[in-house]
Amino acid sequence: MKVLIIGSGGREHALGWKIAQSNKLSKLFFAPGNAGTEAIGKNLPIDPMDFEEIKTFAIEVELDMIIVGPEQPLVAGIFDFFKNDPYLKNVKVIAPSKISAQLEGSKQFAKQFMARHNIPTAAYQSFNKVSFNGACKFIDELKPPYVIKVDGLAAGKGVLILNDAENAKEEIKSILFEEKFGAAGKRIIIEEFLDGIELSVFVLTDGKDYILLPEAKDYKRIGEGDTGLNTGGMGSISPVPFASNKFMTKVEEKIIKPTVKGIYKEGMKYFGFIFFGLMNVNGEPLVIEYNVRLGDPEAQSVIPRIKNDLLKALILTSEGKTSEANIRYDSRCVATVVMASNGYPESYSVDKQITGLDSDISENTMIFHAGTKLNKKEQIVSSGGRVLAVSSYGKHLIDAIALSYKAAKKIKFDGVVYRKDIGKDLLSKY
């Protein structure tokens, strides 16, 4: 099989690392990839949003499968683009259809979908410019903290949690009238604050059946003890200690099954991953958000825990036979530490040479690249805010964490920063 993975982050490197182990693979491509993916496949200088270029390449190499990592091309309709094209329609596309991708692309769409299928989530109301006064009135009716979300895609930045009502109204005004988040903020939703502990649950689905993948917890804030600005994610662990069998049964019965059934009943085509962002509120799961893809850096902890041939499971999924893909989990824990450039998630410098990648690193550690590239001298240099994700196996979470930090210490580049507390809040629960 000739497979193309769209994206350039640690998630895509982890997907490629796993797929490269399959005996069904003949050739692996990335668009655009990074220095890590170049070592396991071929990087193509193609923008994930340039569907015409992707098409030209797919026809030229007679591509068999495309796997789409990030949300932007999914929401822009890459699935429909392939399926509606007579030259591409036989390529297997691991992605949701354009309408299904609205589960991530529009918070209001997701909320209405959940309401139609009785899926537990925070109570909410939605507003636009015209109903600004209603938004202020709704704030006055709620107790703080106030949760304000822009409707569209905002690269993880579109959620504000504020304690002061006047401040909340000011922010709403600047989103709706000054377009602080551009078109993504033409509509907002204001929702009930959920007080609990978060986790991420993943399934692979063909839009009819699904298989549950290992769950994960990510660490979104830049600072230790969950402080400072929100990022794409600074680390992750899997499994999650509080995801007991009892809790996960509730997740399947109250959230996953009604979601997949809803997708099926509404005739939405879906051949890919669903990422349920959940809050555990006193033992009850509620949906915070849907994502129509794997998470980054959740994937770097989840994928290494899948024991089977993932490419085989993806082939079955694309043929509507997900139920035949029997997923087995590795019982070991995985902890992932993201190494970033100082300044991230705001401005940071790039082109810093990375050393220590081939030092004596345990065979139980995987180094997934995110923002890296090869410079003219073929040296690996930084090219993004999140630079590397160091993932390790351990019998217990504590061992996995220790091994990832041991490897991280050996890797050096100017301005490297990483959180030292990934997974440590959960240790007492093991």
Please tell me the distance from the alpha carbon of residue 336 to that of residue 235, in angstroms, as a whole number.
Answer: 5
Taking the complex as a whole, the smallest distance from the CB of residue 194 to ligand AMP amounts, in Å, to 4
Taking the complex as a whole, the smallest distance from the CB of residue 309 to ligand AMP amounts, in Å, to 31
* For ligand AMP, the closer CB: 122 or 380: 122
Of 294-302, 315-323, 357-365, 381-389, the window that binds ligand GLY (rule: CB under 6 A) is 294-302
Three-class secondary structure of residue 392 per DSSP? strand
Of 75-83, 188-196, 288-296, 377-385, the window that binds ligand GLY (rule: CB under 6 A) is 288-296
Taking the complex as a whole, the smallest distance from the CB of residue 289 to ligand GLY amounts, in Å, to 8
How many chain residues interact with ligand GLY (CB under 6 A)? 8
Please tell me the distance from the alpha carbon of residue 13 to that of residue 30, in angstroms, as a whole number.
Answer: 9
Does the protein bind ligand GLY through residue 298 (CB under 6 A)? Answer: yes
Does the protein bind ligand GLY through residue 218 (CB under 6 A)? Answer: yes
Residues that bind ligand AMP (CB under 6 A): 122, 147, 156, 159, 161, 191-194, 198, 220, 277, 288-289
Which one of ligand GLY, ligand AMP, none interacts with residue 198, CB within 5 to 8 A by kind? ligand AMP
Q: Which of 280, 291, 322, 383 binds ligand GLY (CB under 6 A)?
A: 291
**Inter-residue long-range contacts of 307-313, CB under 8 Å, 24+ positions, other chains counted:** 309/21, 309/22, 309/23, 309/24, 310/15, 310/18, 310/19, 310/22, 311/1, 311/3, 311/18, 311/19, 311/22, 311/24, 311/25, 311/65, 312/22, 312/24, 313/204, 313/211
Which one of ligand AMP, ligand GLY, none interacts with residue 289, CB within 5 to 8 A by kind? ligand AMP
Contacts of 136 (CB under 8 A, 6+ apart): 169, 172
Residue with tokens 């190499």: 61
Does the protein bind ligand GLY through residue 295 (CB under 6 A)? Answer: yes
Three-class secondary structure of residue 278 per DSSP? strand
Please tell me the distance from the alpha carbon of residue 9 to that of residue 37, in angstroms, as a whole number.
Answer: 9
Q: Which of 41, 77, 296, 300 binds ligand GLY (CB under 6 A)?
A: 296
Which one of ligand GLY, ligand AMP, none interacts with residue 194, CB within 5 to 8 A by kind? ligand AMP
**Alpha carbon distances (Å) from 235 to 195, 315, 338, 369:** 22, 29, 5, 13
Please tell me the distance from the alpha carbon of residue 98 to that of residue 427, in angstroms, as a whole number.
Answer: 40
Taking the complex as a whole, the smallest distance from the CB of residue 286 to ligand AMP amounts, in Å, to 8
| Contacts to ligand GLY by CB under 6 A | 156, 218, 232-233, 291, 295-296, 298
